[in-house]
Amino acid sequence: MFTDTHCHLADPALLPQLPEVLAAARAANVCRFIVPATCRADWAAVLALGAANTHSAIGIHPWFAAEAGADDLAALSQLLTQHPQALVGEIGLDFLHERPSNEARARQISLFEQQLRLAEQHRRPVIIHNLKASAAIVAAVRTTRFSQGGIVHAFSGSLEEAQAFIRCGFKIGIGSLLLNPAAKKARQAAAALPLEHIVLETDSPFMLKNEINTPANVRVIAETVAGLRGISVAALSMQTETNVAQLLAFHTNPKK
């Protein structure tokens, strides 16, 4: 069994065909799904997903930092109270998309830190988007004293960056970048990082050129990771599923 730890099942590219998408995933032995939102407009649809073994995450993506306000954060906090099994995400920092100004970066950091504080308050793991912002993300985690862990998704950085995230308590999301043979850093991370810190994902419906990505592709990603590491797909499944179970244990074993 495998889990797609980052798939946007409520996206219009997937939602109308969701039964078929999930059936294809399960045929590939991908049987559990973590589904993040990106903005307030997504939250209701993501939370309404009723498929078995589907875990929702709600948050505000850094691309929407300019529009986010105090009312959005208050609404997020209320929904986290109402949905005790929801994670927080997709949140984070993006210093590459549209090359944000210093002011825009500051807005992103402020929003990210506020959502980390909410996640800490509600004791939820987070799903982190990171583009060219690793040092700032680690700094924000330390500033907020965030301790609930989560996933740095679609990892594409150096082994040193990955180790910094691991020291902060995060799993490293290995995904569809591996399907590009030129993605040297992603392949190096998949091959060299301690297996107990890796989870698998697609970021569907995104990441593939000229076709819609789907959770079934976790199987192809798993086969690639297993090949890079020289281990069996079964051994990879056993450890990555243990990693996901640890991540999702927050709502069955809450901290006192």
Mean pLDDT of the chain: 95
C-alpha to C-alpha distance for 224 and 232, rounded to whole angstroms: 11
Nearest-angstrom CA–CA distance, 253 and 256 = 9
Is a pLDDT exceeding 90 seen at residue 27? yes
The answer to whether residues 155 and 172 touch, using CB atoms and an 8 Å cutoff, is yes
User: Beta strands 150-152 and 126-131: pairing type?
Assistant: parallel
pTM higher than 0.85, yes or no?
A: yes
Q: Is the pLDDT of residue 253 over 70?
A: no
pLDDT, tens digit (0-9, with 9 covering 90-100), for 96-139: 987 889 999 999 999 999 999 999 999 999 999 999 999 999 99
State yes or no: 6 annotated in a binding site: yes
Average pLDDT over residues 174-188: 91
Minimum mean pLDDT among 23-32, 69-78, 99-108: which range? Answer: 99-108
Question: How far is CA 57 from its chain centroid?
Answer: 9
Q: Is the bond preceding 113 in cis, omega lying within 30 degrees of 0?
A: no
Share of the chain above pLDDT 70, in %: 98
Mean local confidence (pLDDT), 169-182: 94
Task: Give residue-wise pLDDT tens across range 47-72.
Answer: 999 888 999 999 999 999 999 999 99
Residue 129 among known ligand-binding residues: yes
186, 174 Cβ separation under 8 angstroms? yes
Counts of helices then strands in the chain (DSSP H, E): 9, 8
Q: Higher model confidence: residue 218 or residue 209? A: 218
- Give the model's confidence band at 256: pLDDT under 50 very low, under 70 low, under 90 confident, else very high: very low
Q: Average pLDDT for residues 239-256, to the nearest whole number?
A: 82
Of 192, 147, 197, the residue nearest 168 (C-alpha): 147
What pLDDT does residue 174 have? 97
113 is in an annotated binding site: no
Is 55 flagged in the annotation as binding?
no
Contact 198, 240 (CB under 8 A): yes
Nearest residue to 217 (alpha-carbon basis) of 43, 6, 42: 6
Pairing outcome for strands 126-131 and 2-4: unpaired
DSSP run (H or E) holding 2 = strand 2-4
Could you give the CA distance from residue 107 to residue 114 in angstroms, rounded to a whole number?
A: 11
Share of the chain above pLDDT 90, in %: 91
Confidence tier at 252 by pLDDT (50, 70, 90): low
Predicted local confidence at residue 99, as pLDDT: 83
153 annotated ligand binder = yes
At residue 26, the pLDDT reads 97
